[in-house]
Amino acid sequence: MKIEDSIHQPKFSSATQKAIINLMYTASWLSNEIEQVMKPFGISSQQFNIMRILRGQGSRPVSLKLVTGRMIDHMSNTSRLVDKLVAKGYVRRETAECDRRQLEISLTDSGRVLLEKMSIRVDEVNHILFDHMVEDKLVTLNGILDELREKEI
């Protein structure tokens, strides 16, 4: 669906304005779609992101700072999100042996099992959302998005 139809705005003042609004609207739409996938698992997309980061580190515990630096949403309160995952039994938090002031976190076995189930469902949804796009278009889209983020304000 065209952005004009989605937000009931027939014209934009420029192609730049249309692109910005289109990106913001699409990011919000995609975020909502992913949240709906996460909802049955009782996990937010930000918590899912933390669990994926931890899985990527293998079995070795990592610092909260490392996780925060790799989050998709850098405004996330990573400490609070980790607390919720610890309470659910999906993440383990321990004091670092080398520095008692630092906390290290890692996935629990139940966290790995849940993450695997969630990843299967996310892959299914990603396939539904992007299956109609040819590889060349996806490569172009990624290039444009990467180029956009190179600019600093």
- Total domains, the chain: 1
Give the span between the Cα atoms of 70 and 105, in whole angstroms.
14
Helix (H) or strand (E) holding 90: none
Give the span between the Cα atoms of 39 and 58, in whole angstroms.
26
Residue 95, domain member (yes or no): yes
| Domain that includes residue 125, residue range | 17-150
Give burial (CB, 10 Å; 0-12/13-18/19+) of 81: buried
Residue 6, domain member (yes or no): no
Residue 8, domain member (yes or no): no
Look at residue 73 in the predicted model and tell me its pLDDT: 86
pTM of the model: 0.86
Residue 118, domain member (yes or no): yes
Residue 12, domain member (yes or no): no
Residue 87, domain member (yes or no): yes
CATH (domain of 40):
1.10.10.10
- Mean pLDDT, consecutive 10-residue stretches, the chain (153 aa), reads 90 94 94 93 95 92 91 88 97 82 90 96 92 94 94 82
Residue 7, domain member (yes or no): no
Strand blocks (E) in 20-90: 62-63
Give burial (CB, 10 Å; 0-12/13-18/19+) of 58: exposed
